Structure 1
Amino acid sequence: MSNEPTMPEDDIMRALEARLGRLHARQRLGIERDHEAQVFGQGLNFFHPENLAASPLLIRAALVAVGLYRRGLANAEKVSLRENRIVSAKLPRAFDGFAILHLSDLHVDMCPQAMARVRALVADLSYDLCVLTGDYRGATHGPHDAALAGMAELRDALRSPILAVLGNHDTILMTPRLEQMGMRVLLNECETIVRDGARIHVAGIDDAHYFRVDNIAKAGEGIPHDEFSILLSHTPEIFRQAAHADFDALFAGHTHGGQICLPGGVALTLDSTLPRAFGAGPWRYHEMQGYTSVGAGSSVLPVRFNCPPEITLHQLQAAGDEK
């Protein structure tokens, strides 16, 4: 576990301003503070149960009343490994078989048993890159030390390199500590990965759902249009912008697949403005392939119904090499 000392907030902001520019850093933190503890009238949805202190108690009471609470807890602990293939003619042969471990919506301080299961699952996995698509904290505001401690414990089970983006539950003040753990947090930025002289690009945007501080143009401005690129976003609802910006793949989370679903995995809500077909698993929009993780953790309460939690192993494949 990381024993790095906590940086004073002023020092964190100076470091973020030097890296991102004063406008983005101050904008992100200012919007966070404006949204803190707001329940009505913020974000894409008018009502946000995750910001209402009584919501967990009310939902828990309802589930207990109908005898489903314990089952929901057990379901939330059963994290499974899913596999997905991304096949592209633009992928260099040097990256054929390149494996990407994708973790999303961990909410590490919500369900310790689920996180223990994640650590066990990743321990023996073989992969070339790990990507995290946001929501490390359980709450949407307030202290984040417990989330950082949980992330440090998980980090010990992961192998580098690790690229990450922030979600709507994450404060930008978490960034320096996450990066001290060896995770590169992409804030409308891009990393280029080189193998045998060939390269692919992985860009990441800041939260587009709640804080709306995403900038796809900035994240992708240095990527040649004929080279393979992946966009990391907490939410998949920017799929149109990503596709028209020439990204070949979009990895996201946020929806939890609904978390509490009807039989057959029919989500009651996805908390996103996007086609339901894009709310979980693989999908395609024009030439871009997408994948929306249902997440390894849970929000509001650590319960799941008809929507098992997951981590995902993506394998990149050059077109023509399909088996």
Structure 2
Amino acid sequence: MTRAARSATTALGVAAAGGVAAFAWGALVERNRFTVRTETMAVLDPGARPITILHLSDLHMAPWQENKQEWIRSLAILEPDLIIDTGDNLGHLDGLVGVRRALEPFAGIPGIFVHGSNDYFGPVFKNPMKYFAAPSRHHERSADLATASLDRFLEDELGWLNLNNAARALLLKGNRLEFFGVNDAHRGWDRLDRLPGAIEEMRENVAWNDEPAGNDVVSIGVTHAPYQRVLDAFVTYGASAIFAGHTHGGQVRVPGMAGALVANCDIPRDQAQGVSIWEHAGRSALLNVSAGLGTSIYAPVRFACPPEAVLVTLTPADISYP
């Protein structure tokens, strides 16, 4: 073997070893390196009491994922005022067992939720390289997950509000909050045409109509998949803040490179994780996209993008932070 051939063989060997090491890190370590990202959104009425929101997303829960379940349970120590769950809680036919275990400590804490498609359909193997070409496609099949049981748990046992193509209101720490949300836009289940009527009905019947004095109303949009049409509609309907998941933050990133490699929707890749500003038709809202806490059981790897819950503090707009 010539020197050049030996050098090429060595280089290939080093590259292969590096690839194996990266995969092992992503599958065995980083996928379970759960983190809490903290953010501040100054959207409340001046002088209002701050609100702490725990944003959970994309659990993709399987029953055997006990470490993830215990870590989520431990977040109760943060004592959030509100939970926002942006969907894809289930990740297995028996995933509700793990979801119940993970979320039981939050019973009685106000919460709202929307669904992703993985709250209806169990995971299937997909070629990850196809995500670089376009958002993943779906094939018609019957729902096979315990969606109705998940809803009963979230609504009846935890007391959370269902925002799938709906609008609801909450009075929290003296703050008047209205929420509107959609079902999974990745599947085309968002019914933006229904939201104006739902918002109008909510505003006509909300309890604080009988109490004209008080803080201004703050509107918050909630979606699983942050498609541009949904974000634009939320801004049009007056949202000051928007919460979303779905992207997994790209799930696999290049260290040191800003932005996700893929987002699996049409949001700009540099807004696929974190807090940014979404602008539309001369108006804007703060947008928080969570990288989520799980992965498909068929793609159990994260790299340079650890799983996360997000602790967001809503503060008065008259408070500035450096």
Say whether the fold is shared (TM-score over 0.5).
yes
Query: Which residue pairs with 1:131 in the alignment?
Result: 84
Query: Which residue pairs with 2:101 in the alignment?
Result: 153
Query: Which residue pairs with 1:269 in the alignment?
Result: 262
Which consecutive unaligned segments of at least 5 residues does structure 1 have?
1-61
1:244 Cα deviation from its structure 2 partner: 1.5
Query: Which residue pairs with 1:179 in the alignment?
Result: 155
Q: Is the 8 A contact 1:92 1:199 kept in 2?
A: no
Q: Is 1:162 the counterpart of 2:111 in the alignment? A: yes
Equivalents in 2 of 1:269, 1:63: separation in Å? 25
Q: 1:305 aligns with which of 303, 309, 316?
A: 303
In our comparison, the structure showing a higher alpha carbon Rg is: 2
Query: Which residue pairs with 2:39 in the alignment?
Result: 84
Q: Look up the SS of the partner of 1:66 in the other structure.
A: helix
CA RMSD of aligned residues (A): 2.6
Query: Which residue pairs with 2:232 in the alignment?
Result: 240
1:65 Cα deviation from its structure 2 partner: 7.2
Q: Is 1:192 the counterpart of 2:141 in the alignment? A: no
Q: Look up the SS of the partner of 1:296 in the other structure.
A: coil
Q: 1:284 aligns with which of 277, 284, 287?
A: 277
Equivalents in 2 of 1:86, 1:156: separation in Å? 27
Equivalents in 2 of 1:162, 1:195: separation in Å? 11
1:191 Cα deviation from its structure 2 partner: 2.3
Q: Look up the SS of the partner of 1:157 in the other structure.
A: helix
Deviation string 1:160-195 (CA, Å, 9 cap, x unpaired) is: 112111112112433234323323322222221114
Q: Look up the SS of the partner of 1:236 in the other structure.
A: coil
Q: Is the 8 A contact 2:26 2:302 kept in 1?
A: yes
What amino acid maps onto 2:105 in structure 1? A
1:72 Cα deviation from its structure 2 partner: 1.2
Deviation string 1:181-223 (CA, Å, 9 cap, x unpaired) is: 3233222222211146651112221111114233343443346
What amino acid maps onto 2:33 in structure 1? K
1:112 Cα deviation from its structure 2 partner: 3.5
Query: Which residue pairs with 1:113 in the alignment?
Result: 67
1:64 Cα deviation from its structure 2 partner: 11
Q: Is the 8 A contact 1:204 1:219 kept in 2?
A: no
Query: Which residue pairs with 1:68 in the alignment?
Result: 22
1:301 Cα deviation from its structure 2 partner: 2.3
What amino acid maps onto 1:84 in structure 2? E
Q: Is the 8 A contact 1:95 1:316 kept in 2?
A: no
Query: Which residue pairs with 1:314 in the alignment?
Result: 312
1:106 Cα deviation from its structure 2 partner: 0.7
Query: Which residue pairs with 2:141 in the alignment?
Result: none
1:316 Cα deviation from its structure 2 partner: 0.8
What amino acid maps onto 2:42 in structure 1? V
Deviation string 1:79-129 (CA, Å, 9 cap, x unpaired) is: 1111111112xx235743111110000111174323332222x03102111
Query: Which residue pairs with 2:124 in the alignment?
Result: none
Query: Which residue pairs with 1:45 in the alignment?
Result: none
Q: Is the 8 A contact 2:262 2:269 kept in 1?
A: no
Q: Is the 8 A contact 1:188 1:218 kept in 2?
A: no
What amino acid maps onto 1:83 in structure 2? T
Q: Is the 8 A contact 2:164 2:182 kept in 1?
A: yes
Q: Look up the SS of the partner of 1:138 in the other structure.
A: coil
**Count of aligned residue pairs for this structure pair:** 254
TM-score, with normalisation over the residues of structure 2? 0.71
Q: 2:182 aligns with which of 198, 205, 212?
A: 205
Q: Is the 8 A contact 1:94 1:198 kept in 2?
A: no
Q: Is the 8 A contact 1:78 1:117 kept in 2?
A: no
Query: Which residue pairs with 1:253 in the alignment?
Result: 245
Q: Percent identity?
A: 30
Q: Is the 8 A contact 1:104 1:133 kept in 2?
A: yes
